[in-house]
Structure 1
Amino acid sequence: MAIKERKEREKQEMRNLVIESATQLFLKQGYDKTSIRSIADDIEYSPATIYLYFKDKDEIFYVIHENAFDILDKHLRQHDGIADPFERLRAIGRTYIKFGLENPDYYDLMFIMRAPMEQIKNEEKWKAGECAFGYLLTTLSECLEQKRIRPADLHVTAIMVWSFVHGLVSLYVRERMCILMLPDDTTREVLYSSFDLFMANLKM
């Protein structure tokens, strides 16, 4: 292997090590209580080493955030082949819920954990996040054009759909669904059934 290729591989391996450590520390002790030094201590390197790869803690969080949204976007776009936009919208919503239920830690980092958004706002484009939301907008636009859902403002409808699935997942991730006193698999079915009912009310 060429020296340049080896150095690039080592650089990526180091970045991955930092990201993995930071992810676990953010989840365990929160964003504010996690520092570059605590990440460095966790991976047994000096803080100066981390600064060779990331300018600050915000940038590390941004990379984790962007990676998670990229994964979500890829899951959602598996439904490109569904011609009926209403059925595609239903599939997107159920996939969003499934992603949150199966990746509660990532979901917490993406949507629930309090962390500064300056890094994201300062980026020229919030690529993965915009792609995921843009896919929802495109699908809803088709639903409205083909009169598959009740007439309404596109963006208002998008926020309504997103808020509904986000609320379901957030209640589950933060273990508030325990109030139902049901087995976990039954609770999950309740979430999906609730979404199906919401979709039925949205339909023309």
Structure 2
Amino acid sequence: MGINERKEREKEVLQKSILTAAREVFLEKGFDQTSIRSIAQKIEYSPTTIYLYYKDKDAILFALHSEGFQLLASKMEVLNLVENPLERIKAMGRVYIRFAMEHPDYYDLMFVQKSPMNKLDEDHEVWQEGMSTFDGLKFSVQQCMEQGYLPFNDVEAGSYLLWATLHGMCNLYDRGRCKVLDEEKSEQIVDLAFAEFLKMLDAFGR
């Protein structure tokens, strides 16, 4: 292995170490308490070293947000085998909700926190991760419209409506806003609401 190859590998190892430390700090302390200094302390490097690889906290959190999208995509991939587009959308909803419940910190970075979007705004980039996920939903919604399963007039608006509904359910639960509900139902409310959501989709398809 040449000197340049070794340096490049060492750089990749350090970048992964920084992200691993950032993930651990984020899970342990939350978004607000995650800082370049706290990440540096975790890997026993100076903050200056981290700035050589990531220009700020937003860039690090964006990288973690991208990890989350990769994980979600890996769980969604098998749904391409579902031929019926309405059943595929239902399955996508189940996977989305399960992901939000099992990985609330990733979900928070992917769909709630402004920080990852700050990096995109500063670098004048498009949100490729979000667009790819949304395009998958739009594809299925378009098929549903063509086959008479959903009565939408606009694929973009219809897809946004479905996404916003699921996101609202997940985010209200994750943010502790379900305390207004009956105590016996509060822990199950996302599953109960999703079941009602599926009934609504089935009614559209009749």
TM-score range normalised by the length of the shorter chain: 0.7 to 0.9
Aligned partner of 1:149 in structure 2 is 150
1:54 maps to amino acid: Y
Aligned residue in 2 for 1:94: 94
Structure 1 residues 12 and 180, CA, compared in 2 at 3 Å: closer, same or farther? farther
Shift in CA distance, 105/194, structure 1 to aligned 2, threshold 3 Å:
farther
Which residue in 2 is equivalent to 1:158?
159
Contact 2:58 2:116 survives alignment (8 Å): yes
Greater RCO, CA 8 A, separation 6+ = 1
Gaps of 5+ in 1: none
Contact 2:109 2:116 in 1 (8 A): no
Q: How many residues align?
A: 203
CA-based RMSD: 2.5
Measure how far apart 1:116 and its partner are: 5.7
% same residue: 37
Q: Deviations over 1:168-189 (max 9, x none)?
A: 1112222333433237874453
C-alpha contact 1:149 1:203 (8 A) present in aligned 2: yes
1:195 to 186, 191, 197: 197
Aligned to 1:138: 139
**Kept after mapping to 1: 8 A contact 2:145/2:152:** yes
Residue 16 of structure 1: CA displacement?
A: 2.0
Q: Distance in 2 between matches of 1:21 and 1:10?
A: 16
TM-score for the superposition, normalised by structure 2: 0.84
User: In the TM superposition, what is the alpha-carbon distance from 1:99 to its structure 2 partner?
Assistant: 0.9
Match of 2:184 among 179, 182, 185: 182
Q: State how 1:90-129 maps to structure 2 within 5 Å.
A: 90-115=90-115, 117-121=117-121, 122=123, 124-129=125-130
Q: Which amino acid aligns with 1:135?
A: G
Of 123-132 and 75-84, deviating more is: 123-132
How much has 1:3 moved relative to structure 2? 5.6
Q: Which residue of 2 aligns with 1:46?
A: 46
Partners in 2 of 1:75 and 1:144 — Cα distance? 25
Q: TM-score, normalised by structure 1?
A: 0.85
Contact 1:73 1:131 in 2 (8 A): no
